[in-house]
Amino acid sequence: MLLVGDRLLRTLLLSSGVVDRELARRLTSEALGTAFLVTTVIGSGIMAQRLSPDDVGLQLLENSIATGAALVALILALGPVSGAHFNPVVTLADRLLGRIRSTHAALYVVAQVIGACIGAVVANLMFSLPAVNVSTQVRTGGGIWLGEVVATLGLLLVIFGLVRSGGARHVAFAVGAYIAAAYWFTSSTSFANPAVTIARTLSDTFAGISPSSVPAFVIAQLIGALLAVGLVVVLYPDDESARVDPILDPPPMEAST
């Protein structure tokens, strides 16, 4: 999977004629940030299982606190480099809102998926587990899929609502808080990220998800993203992001096809 992703990334780079060091820097940031995010999600889940083996609620609390805190740190550190998307649906929304080129958006997504899978492998190895251990944890059902729609919709509203209203400097804290909360108020425990969803199939641990459950999760996430973009345009028709120094909006890569 990693080799295929790497080859796809190279093909896209060559086909688009990309030799831009700035873009390469941003892609590295996206891969690195998504890797650390997945390492946090899976690693904290494994640690929670080992520290609190008989209390699933406490495991979820430990997992959610670690993930929310890591998101704040990663967005603050890498946001000025790439915009700290770390999530294909954030990149998709950015493209639909005309803030990034289609080619660059595709490269972002490839970098995110590769980084996410590397992060899963690293998490497994840190805890002396097989590098790749395909999850058997089935997550399915209408309520869980609805939870993913809600989780993704809310996440994008938080991000782009702040960015478009001039409050982008608060995004890191808002996203961390939202995800930590969404672990608890959504039936799916808020994956809200296709790259992270794919990567979590590689670890048969607390945070894992069976490959058979992934397609429905990703579809639900895409539905949530599309709904969010529509609401963002309605609720925030005037984009104020150009008037501030935003965390999630580095100097824009001009939008074009």
Give the per-residue pLDDT at 248: 46
Give the per-residue pLDDT at 250: 52
Asked if the 2-243 domain carries CATH number 1.20.1080.10, the reply is yes
Supply the DSSP string of 199-225, one letter for each residue: HGGGB-STT---GGGHHHHHHHHHHHH
Between CA 253 and CA 134 the distance in angstroms is: 37
Give the tokens for residue 246. Answer: 């935003």
Give the per-residue pLDDT at 19: 45
Give the per-residue pLDDT at 93: 96
Between CA 18 and CA 233 the distance in angstroms is: 31
| Residues of the chain under the 70 pLDDT cut | 1-19, 240-257
Domain segments of the chain as ranges: 2-243
Between CA 206 and CA 163 the distance in angstroms is: 33
Give the per-residue pLDDT at 243: 45
Between CA 170 and CA 70 the distance in angstroms is: 15
Distance of CA 170 to the CA centre of its chain: 18
Alpha helix positions (H), 21-140? 21-51, 56-82, 88-96, 102-126
SS3 label, residue 109: helix
Return the percentage of the chain with pLDDT > 70, whole number: 86
Inter-residue contact 127 to 43 (CB < 8 Å): yes
Give the tokens for residue 81. Answer: 């480099």
Between CA 237 and CA 47 the distance in angstroms is: 44
Give the per-residue pLDDT at 213: 97
242 burial type by CB count under 10 A (0-12 exposed, 13-18 middle, 19+ buried): exposed
Q: How many CB atoms lie within 10 A of CB 138?
A: 11
